[in-house]
Amino acid sequence: MIAIEGIALVPGSAAGEAVVIQTQQAGGSSLDETREAGKRFEDARHAAEAELRRRIETLADGAARQILRAHLALMADPILLAAVATHIATGLGALAAIGRARADLVARFEAFHDPVLRARAADLSDVCGYLARYFEEPQHAGGGVSGRVVCAEELSPAQLLAFAEEPPVAFALESRAGTSHAAILLRALGVPAMIGVERIVSLVRNGDRLLVDATRGRVILAPGADDEIDTAATSRVESDCGPARTRDGKPIAVTATIGGATDAHRAMIAGADGIGLFRTEWLFMRRERWPSEDEQFEAYHEVARLAKDRPVTVRIMDLGGDKLPPALALPAERNPALGLRGVRLALAYPDLLETQIRALVRAFGRALRMMLPMVNDPGEVLQVRRILDRVASGHYQVGAMIETPAAALMSTELAAVTDFLSLGTNDLTQYVLAADRESRIAATDQNPVHPAVLRLIRLAAADIVGADRPLSVCGEYARDPLVAPILVGMGVTELSVASDAIVATKRLVRGMSTATARLLGDELASLPTATAAADRLATGESGLDVHAPRDAR
């Protein structure tokens, strides 16, 4: 038995036979000799574009979607097309031309001092990787890994997308790039993943038995029976999955953010206290026609079945903005982030909203907890309640997301017409700071501890807690080890995170002090600049005392 330490990117453990994927070099193919190199390149480009569009529609992870949209745009970048065309004109085949263009462009952009231009080098390299994939042999395109452990020096986004339909049981990679685009897509796949596993490719052969233990941060080659059935580790994980309280005794629910039944299944295995955010828009984004009530019911009922007696908060279709379903021909808008989206869009199509509500009532019955996205005014909540009253008699819990400054400032009035409220920290930060979260430049200003953001959250949280309404967080910051304690200190009672973060977030809760976090949050909110707040958070006591495994975050 050999144990190799690494860095846990996605927690969990899994065992299986190894499949070793060697780094592919874009060049030296028999395709280089074809006279149809230009046509082959265009065919590969169109196929890659079609696959990217399909992946963008199906991915629930917002950061992953942002990356793929940028890559889709680069597929038609004149600089890339000209570089490939130049090399094809010299007599190279399509694959070799892609490889030469990749090397040239990466070297050119990495030479810039501007960090934005330097970052483009990695994007161009990834895009060339997508294109090169269409000239690879089938065994290198991502197939045949179901039930196995994928080992590689590194994997490109294109290769990871090929694993999405039938993912392996785990990944063990030598690369240490925990914040790369590939790492974001690895997290979206949701299976145990380790990075920084030194020499894994040279030590392992196809078919070798491996155990990837991303809970302890190690990969075991040729594990024995004692390793496969680690009673101590199992009991520890079961303990981690139990209810979580802060050091000063405040219970905090740690729930899962999901996009459908597969995610719900993972969440229940991970020990989620329930479903904190069921994004229903995935059902609409995948279809050319609008799903019927029966089709929606089947999808919702499967999630309800998997959750059993645990609560499920269902967000009605959050469409518009960057989520444009094929079945709904929305008019083009100059600024879709400020246009027809969320509850505003749902109310503009009342027949579609009523169909969804009917399906939800059928699937969840009296246990229905329905949340409304992008609410600005209590009147919007009342309009949805009237539709709900027409569809079914009796009381069903209705909540609203605090995602805009208007909602935060109207939190007292919203609390009066809702049963629960949730902070959507991603969009709220975007709108408070006027920094587009989908912009590769402005997104760098997405600062959750900016004093303006913290002041508004503190104001809204005080009103909501004062109205005796539960308050959850379902944005990316619910899992952030520095920001989450501050939100709990302000009155949050539920953190909704991706399934892979359930155990780590419960550990985080058990290590935080509500009283300390409240004082820190008040101090940060009172500071005069964002830089001062970031410096204080980086150097000061955060109220944590968590001894978690090494983590790539």
Active site residues: 181, 474
Residues 87 and 96: beta-carbon distance below 8 Å: yes
Distance separating alpha carbons of residues 550 and 9, to the nearest angstrom: 9
Strands 170-173 and 148-152 turn out to be parallel
Cβ atoms of 32 and 95 within 8 Å: the answer is yes
Q: How many CB atoms lie within 10 A of CB 349?
A: 17
Query: Which residue in 219, 203, 199, 200 sits closest to 211, CA to CA?
Result: 219
Rounded to an integer, what distance in angstroms lies between the CA atom of residue 467 and that of residue 328?
Answer: 38
CA angle in degrees (0–180, nearest 5) for 428-431-436 = 110
Q: Which two tokens stand for residue 396?
A: 């069903």
Do the beta carbons of residue 447 and residue 433 sit within 8 Å? Answer: yes
| DSSP 8-class letter at 191 | S
Give 123-142 as a 3 state SS string: HHHHHHHHHHHCCCCHHHCC
Residues 6+ apart with CB under 8 A from 202: none
What angle (nearest 5°) sits at the alpha carbon of residue 408, between those of residues 404 and 413?
120
Q: How many residues does the chain have?
A: 553
Nearest residue to 346 via CA among 367, 368, 378, 374: 374
Helix (H, G, I), strand (E, B) or coil at 234: helix
Q: Token digits for 536? A: 């204080």
Residue 445: CB atoms within 10 Å:
16
Which one-letter DSSP state was computed for residue 338?
Answer: G
Give the pair of three-digit tokens for residue 42. 């265009």
**Contacts of residue 361, Cβ cutoff 8 Å, sequence gap at least 6:** 368, 388, 391, 392, 396
> What six digits make up the tokens of 366?
């009296």
